[in-house]
Amino acid sequence: MQELLYLTHRIPYPPNKGDKIRSFHLLRHLSERYRVYLGTFIDTEEDWQYEDEVRKYCQEACFVRLHPFSARVKSLLALSGRDPLTLSYYRNAKLMQWIRSVCAREPIRDIVVFSSAMAQYVDHLPDCRRIIDFVDVDSDKWRQYASSKSWPLSWVYQREARYLLNYEKEIARKFNFSTFVSEKEAGLFRQMAPDSAEKTTFFNNGVDTSYFSPGHSYPNPYPTGKRVLVFTGAMDYWANVDAVTWFANLVFPAIRASQPDVEFHIVGANPTKQVQGLANLPGICVTGAVKDIRPYLMHAAVAVAPLRIARGIQNKVLEAMAMLKPVVVSDQAMEGIHAIPGRELIVAKDVDAFIEQILILLASDKQSSIGQQARDRILRDYTWSGSLSRFDALLSTPYTG
């Protein structure tokens, strides 16, 4: 087996949200083919318990503590320069020293970088095959944030969008390949960085369809006699906070007025004070972290993903589809997912459409039909084995240095 250096901006475990799902499955896949040297950050105390689990997939690993508050201060001090703040946030001398040590003593010829922030550690190593998984076009996400915030945050976010795009384009030119989470995301970046278009590709996120399977038996976590609309996700992530706040205040009251037995459950770790406050509204429950998301999906009537800011593929949508759930999504949450609207999921463009489509689902027998076709789509197009075969093709291309 050959040696491979793998860098991630957050420990790739547990695979229970967004970036960790993708980075973990990539790590596990790489470990079957390479001796993996992993460099990563840990930004929450609870994640240190997973250090030994992650080491099982690695020849060697370096875990670096990242203090979010200190990192934010350090990044803000970089406002006077021309680098994206993201680079300062994740810049660390200990990790750089470890990477130099590994590359000096091991025959590293392949490097995989997960997220643009980690490219700074290897942009000086041109003699290796370097692949960056940008996942999303993060610069465009900052642009979206800027449009929804007032000054001074709007200015900071606009600055980050501009400088991060310049950096993304620079890295794409230097590296052998750039990958994204969907064909649409890759297409957007090709437009932004046409010089690197031929080296830009994608591999979809997948779903562990054995884990997210309706064939298992799950206890019902909801109150008896209630039909539930469920939203799942990390509830300290601003896009999720915005989505559930919008839905709870503008969509759900009309559904509740028409169907008093319906509840809206917001399921996910670290709910902000704003999210916690939604539990004061009639029929809304905020669970916080749960040990297993699957019972909440299995016993919900409908899953919703009313995201107004989104990039890439939404794992929450794929997981609900794998569990036979009809999912009602916004246009933004639909991006990057190849599914047939009206047959495999439901797309709603505004408040009235969300209300109408959810009430139709609650009053009809379409739920099981849409749910089955949704899972069939996942089994066809969104398994990890199928998705990661595209990544294997990049690592198997001839490399001459």
Maximal CA-CA distance, the chain? 67
The C-alpha atoms of residue 239 and residue 253 are separated, in whole angstroms, by 21
Compute the mean pLDDT over every residue in the chain, rounded to the nearest whole number: 93
pLDDT average, residue stretch 365-390: 89
Cα distances (Å, whole numbers) of residue 173 to 7, 115, 198, 341: 19, 15, 10, 37
For tokens 């945050």, what's the residue? 153
> Has residue 401 got a pLDDT over 80?
no
Percent over 70 (pLDDT), the chain? 99
Contacts of 265 (CB under 8 A, 6+ apart): 222, 228, 229, 230, 231, 284, 285, 286, 287, 296, 300
Return the CATH superfamily for domain 227-381.
Glycogen Phosphorylase B; (3.40.50.2000)
Please, what CATH class does the domain formed by 2-206+384-395 belong to?
alpha beta
First CA to last CA distance, the chain: 19
In the chain, the amino acid numbered 321 is: M
Q: How confident is the model at residue 9 (pLDDT cuts 50, 70, 90)?
A: very high
Instruction: Give the per-residue pLDDT at 80.
Output: 82
Tens-place pLDDT, residues 313-355: 899 999 999 999 999 999 999 987 989 999 999 999 999 999 9
Q: Outline where 91-152 has alpha helix (H).
A: 93-105, 138-147
Fold agreement (2-206+384-395, 227-381) = yes
Of 235, 296, 302, which Cα lies nearest the Cα of 270? 235
The C-alpha atoms of residue 267 and residue 13 are separated, in whole angstroms, by 19
CB 72 within 8 A of CB 94: no
pLDDT average, residue stretch 157-166: 94
Among 45-59, 146-160, 169-183, 284-298, the minimum mean pLDDT is found in 146-160
Number of C-beta neighbours around residue 121 at 10 A: 21
Residue-range domain boundaries for the chain = 2-206+384-395, 227-381
Cα distances (Å, whole numbers) of residue 80 to 83, 159, 168, 300, 309: 9, 11, 20, 49, 28
For tokens 């967004």, what's the residue? 18
How is residue 140 written in tokens?
A: 């465009």
pLDDT average, residue stretch 287-311: 93
pLDDT average, residue stretch 139-158: 86
Contacts of 282 (CB under 8 A, 6+ apart): 256
The C-alpha atoms of residue 24 and residue 6 are separated, in whole angstroms, by 11
Local structure of residue 30 (DSSP, 8 states): H
Q: How confident is the model at residue 400 (pLDDT cuts 50, 70, 90)?
A: low
How is residue 356 written in tokens?
A: 């109408």
Q: Is the peptide bond before 152 cis (omega within 30 degrees of 0)?
A: yes
Q: Residue 7: helix, strand or coil by DSSP?
A: strand
For tokens 């019902």, what's the residue? 220
> Has residue 17 got a pLDDT over 90?
no
pTM score: 0.86
Percent over 90 (pLDDT), the chain? 82
Q: How confident is the model at residue 232 (pLDDT cuts 50, 70, 90)?
A: very high
The C-alpha atoms of residue 364 and residue 357 are separated, in whole angstroms, by 11
How is residue 54 written in tokens?
A: 């992650």
